[in-house]
């Protein structure tokens, strides 16, 4: 799975949780999940669980806490998928 495929899958996972639909239209790797997309911190747990299910990976708590941007999520998936 390449970066573009992971990016698209992450956006699909984020979509139901995003409060700022305008930011979603122009989302990029550097887009901040909480600040730009207005996803609340409680929903981040749901997002991480969805990522784990979608990609068949296990995300450690300390890694999940470092996911601040869409790019962070993509990097995490690519790194964990190669170790799985």
Q: What is the CATH number of the domain that holds 8?
A: 1.10.1200.10
Q: CA-CA distance, 47 to 30, in Å (whole number)?
A: 17
| Domain range for 32 | 3-83
| Residues whose CB falls within 8 Å of the CB of residue 42, separated by 6 or more in sequence, listed in order | none
Instruction: State what percent of residues in the chain have pLDDT above 70.
Output: 99
Q: Name the pTM for this structure.
A: 0.93
Instruction: Give the total number of structural domains in the chain.
Output: 1
pLDDT tens digits, one per residue of 2-40: 999 999 999 999 999 999 999 999 999 999 999 999 999
């Amino acid at each position: 799975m390449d970066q573009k495929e992971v990016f698209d899958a992450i956006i699909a996972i984020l979509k139901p949780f995003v409060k700022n639909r305008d930011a979603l239209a122009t989302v990029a790797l550097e887009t901040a999940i909480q600040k730009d997309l207005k996803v609340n911190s409680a929903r981040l747990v749901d997002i991480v669980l969805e990522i784990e299910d979608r990609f068949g990976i296990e995300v450690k708590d300390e890694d999940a806490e470092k996911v601040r941007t869409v790019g962070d999520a993509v990097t995490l998936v690519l790194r964990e998928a190669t170790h799985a």
